[in-house]
Structure 1
Amino acid sequence: MSIVCAIPTVPLILGIVALSQIRKNGEKGRGLAIAAIVIHGMTIAFYAVAIVLGLSGAFDEGPRPQRDTQGQVTAPGSSKVEDIRKGDCFNTDDDLAKTQRGDGTQARLSVRTVPCDQPHEGEAYAVFTLDDGVFPGAEKVVRISEEKCGGTALTGYVGDAAKLPKNLEVFYYYPQASSWIQGDRTVTCFLGSSGGTSTGSARGGS
């Protein structure tokens, strides 16, 4: 039970209760009770570390994307969100409809960067760095992101925004309170579709 029990702390509690009863009644099994406490304590610590690493994206790391001398992606690879460059195309497991909400939704920390001639869900058209300091709050970060991702940032990349396919919308990744503490200050503006993928680049209205 200490190793495989699906309910956290139950074997730990049972081991402590057993020790208490053994002390009172002089029964045998003290070694087994201590073993149960130690083993389950180690099991909880293992799962806690695994969860933290999973949330931090440590298990998402893979080969980095390959780039040519101009910085264009020539072979797919795993990229951290803050490493996405202007012009990069990528796929993500995120629900894109949630990336614009100011409710603290945490985006994944990595994406699958691919050449733009391959099917992709997002294409970064601008990347900005916010000022250092205390986290200004989700609402202010969202407001700044909306301002920076609109206007000339978009038209300077795609040309006439009115000519973009109707399925493409403006999205952005922005720092959360948790990632801000770790030094994340990056706002990544990108075009994407929450309903599927596209092929080819939107740069210059192509």
Structure 2
Amino acid sequence: MRTSRLVPAALILGSALLLGGCVQISDMLGGGESAVRDADSGEVTDAGQVDVFTLAVGDCLNDQSGEEVYDVPVVPCGEPHDYEVYHEFSMPDGEYPGQDATYTAADEGCYAAFAPFVGLAYEESILDFSYYVPTQQSWDDGGDRLISCFLGDPSTQTTGSLAGVAR
């Protein structure tokens, strides 16, 4: 699953108003309650939605379908979840390199961080990874360069962190 970030809500709302679409704004933005984070550790303590731009390494999340994502459903890692954010990195500044180059950078960066995090080579693991990448619009309008890598067991939800699980 390859997924892209979108621009901040203000730009989305402006576009929606200009286009005059029939979709409700709350539906476009994902709706739902906001997640609660511990003030000291930053860990998610109560499940809810977070802006895709505020995901952090260590966040646990549930499946989010769609090509472009605004909000992501996160849960405390002690609860069953589909994925865990295990690595993030930024692409270099400059012109948007294109979707293929962005996906290639994500594949390479997330792959390289997989074995050190899990404790087992990707090819030997039952786990799989995916990522959120910038879109041309989020790159140009929002300065988005961040790639967020997340992993999970494609056959079931997991509980707790997958750090060092060697499976």
User: Structures share a fold, TM > 0.5?
Assistant: yes
Does 2:146 correspond to 1:160? no
Does 2:134 correspond to 1:175? yes
Query: Aligned-pair distance for 1:165?
Result: 6.0
Look up the match of 1:51. 23
**CA distance 1:76–1:190, change in 2 (3 Å):** same
Equivalent residue letter for 2:117? Y
* Counterpart-to-counterpart distance in 1, 2:24 and 2:134: 18
Contact 2:57 2:87 in 1 (8 A): yes
Does 2:132 correspond to 1:185? no
* Counterpart-to-counterpart distance in 1, 2:123 and 2:101: 30
Contact 1:163 1:205 in 2 (8 A): no
Percent identity of paired positions between Structure 1 and Structure 2: 30
Look up the match of 1:60. 31
Alignment of 1:3-14 (within 5 A): none
Contact 1:145 1:174 in 2 (8 A): yes
Q: Deviations over 1:92-113 (max 9, x none)?
A: 3316xxxxxxxxxx33211111
Look up the match of 1:80. 51
Equivalent residue letter for 2:80? P
Query: Aligned-pair distance for 1:194?
Result: 4.6
Structure with the bigger RCO (C-alpha within 8 Å, sep 6+) is 2
Higher relative helix content: 1
Look up the match of 1:122. 83
Look up the match of 1:21. none
* Counterpart-to-counterpart distance in 1, 2:139 and 2:18: 26
Three-state SS of the structure 1 residue aligned to 2:68 is: coil
Identify which range, 183-192 or 156-165, moves more after superposition: 156-165
> CA RMSD for the aligned pairs?
2.9
Three-state SS of the structure 2 residue aligned to 1:204 is: coil
Give me the TM-score of the superposition, normalised by structure 1: 0.61
Look up the match of 2:102. 141
Aligned length, in residue pairs: 149
Give me the TM-score of the superposition, normalised by structure 2: 0.73
Contact 1:170 1:192 in 2 (8 A): yes
Contact 1:68 1:74 in 2 (8 A): no
Look up the match of 1:108. 69
Look up the match of 1:199. 159
Three-state SS of the structure 1 residue aligned to 2:96 is: coil
**CA distance 1:159–1:142, change in 2 (3 Å):** same
